[in-house]
Amino acid sequence: MLDKGILSPLKLDKRLSPELMTIAEKVVAGTRLSFADGITLFEKAPLAYLGVLANAVREKRHGDVTYFNRNFHLEPTNVCLYTCTFCSYSRLIKKRSEGWELTADQMMDEIMKYDDEPVTEVHIVGGVLPQYDLKFYTDLFSRIKKHRPELHVKALTPVEYHYIFKKAKVSYAEGMKLIKESGADSMPGGGAEIFHPEIRDQIAGGKCTGEEWLDIHREWHKLGMKSNATMLYGHIEKFEHRVDHLEKLRSLQDETGGFQTFIPLKFRNENNQMSHVKESTTLEDLRNYAISRLYLDNFPHIKAYWPMIGRDVAQLSLAFGVNDIDGTIDDTTKIYSMAGSEEQHPAMSTEQLVQLIRSVERKPVERDSVYNVLKDFEGVEFESDKHFKGYLSLPVVKPTTTTAE
């Protein structure tokens, strides 16, 4: 139950329909939103209304705490068998020599570059190619863990798993068990796109279906393991497809409780087959974060992926339900820079990330990959803090009085 006081400003807004007031009352009472409520929110809810509600839910769960972690990305290849229309990787299959395909030794070299860095997680993500099969990946994960046991391996998505398990003729349950035994610690949220076949078949035909994506996460969760979920939005999907996507995630989470974080991914339109599709506006992005927070009542965390949306929007999102902004990454995956992400070289040091969070009056907390607190930065002052006086303490400019001569 949320503080009923948050309804007062909403009641004053005479433009809010009884339908939206009923939804607000449901949120305050902790009553689950229906599919129809989700559609109403996307179609009719004003931004300020969504902000008030999503922020109240966020603060009830996490107060001002905003998580980040220290991670880096490893991309085995930027060539892919599949031809997802939104993805800049799919273009390279016809001119494979222009891409890269790392060997296991080269990947270990990449991992070793971080040996003296205080990173806690490697996120392995990339294209699908036949040489990267089940044995390749189980050997790779074992090598990483042998080399650096405490490094959390967040690796691959159901898109790769579906492909490599089929090739190895093992069931999802058997395959996920082998992956766990080889040392993978968690599964990232990628490959979800839009589950509904009306859209998925058009933008991501040929790779695992929405049902298969969910089945693979289910098997992983049954092993006691954690994963994330994403939704690629803002292209050709309709609101009903977004709500359907959220609904399916919410119901799997009811069943397993294995999801940690939901990460809405804004479609970027450079260098792919959907470059003619206009990108969503910041306003739409904020609405989408807030509605995700309200609909996914059983997801602990909502994450904004700052390299994709930029630092300013990441800061704004913290008032619209988001309580996590990805890690301190020294170089984002090429998948985004090729697709036109806000940040071409998105590197943020821990100090910069802490400042980014503090400057919108939130509390930065460094976490590990399963949300254990590593450092809360209470009392930690950086050199740059001395120059920041808070956004309410800008010098007041006194109006100049003009006296008639």
In this complex, which beta carbon is closest to ligand V47, that of residue 6 or of residue 216? Answer: 216
Distances (CA, A) of 89 to 18, 190, 232, 243, 273: 47, 14, 16, 28, 11
Residue 203 binds which entry of ligand V47, ligand SF4, none, CB below 5-8 Å type-dependent: none
Plot region of 125 (φ>0 → left; ψ -120 to 50 → alpha; else → beta):
beta
Question: Please, what is the minimum distance in Å from the beta carbon of residue 279 to ligand V47?
Answer: 9
**Segment contacting ligand V47 by CB under 6 A, of 42-50, 207-215, 217-225, 265-273:** 265-273
Q: In this chain, which of 265, 291, 302, 318 binds ligand V47, going by CB under 6 A?
A: 265
Judged by CB under 6 A, the chain residues 71 through 100 that form the site for ligand SF4 are 80, 82, 84, 87, 89-90
User: 10-39 burial, b if ≥16 CB within 10 A, otherwise e?
Assistant: beeeeebeeebeebbebbbeeeebeeebbb
Q: In this chain, which of 73, 152, 200, 207 binds ligand SF4, going by CB under 6 A?
A: 207
Structure tokens at 12: 């004053």
Are the C-beta atoms of residues 170 and 178 closer than 8 Å to each other? yes
Question: Please, what is the minimum distance in Å from the beta carbon of residue 346 to ligand SF4?
Answer: 19
- How many Å apart are CA 373 and CA 355, to the nearest integer? 18
Is residue 144 classed exposed, middle or buried when 0-12, 13-18 and 19+ CB atoms within 10 A define those classes? Answer: buried
Specify the DSSP class assigned to residue 5. Answer: G
User: Does residue 163 belong to the site contacting ligand SF4 (CB under 6 A)?
Assistant: no
Judged by CB under 6 A, the chain residues 1 through 20 that form the site for ligand V47 are none
User: Does residue 335 belong to the site contacting ligand V47 (CB under 6 A)?
Assistant: yes
At 78, the amino acid letter reads N
Question: Please, what is the minimum distance in Å from the beta carbon of residue 314 to ligand V47?
Answer: 12
In this complex, which beta carbon is closest to ligand V47, that of residue 122 or of residue 335? Answer: 335
Is residue 179 classed exposed, middle or buried when 0-12, 13-18 and 19+ CB atoms within 10 A define those classes? Answer: buried
User: Does residue 164 belong to the site contacting ligand SF4 (CB under 6 A)?
Assistant: no
Site string for ligand V47, 287-326 (x = CB under 6 A): ------------------x--------------------x
- How many Å apart are CA 83 and CA 4, to the nearest integer? 49
In this complex, which beta carbon is closest to ligand SF4, that of residue 38 or of residue 126? Answer: 126
User: Does residue 137 belong to the site contacting ligand V47 (CB under 6 A)?
Assistant: no
Helix axes 35-44, 239-256, angle to 10 degrees: 140
User: Does residue 366 belong to the site contacting ligand V47 (CB under 6 A)?
Assistant: no
Judged by CB under 6 A, the chain residues 98 through 137 that form the site for ligand SF4 are 127-128
Judged by CB under 6 A, the chain residues 175 through 214 that form the site for ligand V47 are 188-191, 193
User: 221-250 burial, b if ≥16 CB within 10 A, otherwise e?
Assistant: beeebbbbbbbbbbbebebebbbbbbbbbb
Judged by CB under 6 A, the chain residues 211 through 240 that form the site for ligand V47 are 228, 230, 232
Residue 259 binds which entry of ligand SF4, ligand V47, none, CB below 5-8 Å type-dependent: none
Are the C-beta atoms of residues 304 and 288 closer than 8 Å to each other? no
> Which residues bind to ligand V47, rule: CB under 6 A?
86-87, 125, 188-191, 193, 228, 230, 232, 263, 265, 267-268, 272, 305, 326, 335, 339
Using CB under 6 A, list all residues that contact ligand SF4: 80, 82, 84, 87, 89-90, 127-128, 159, 204, 207
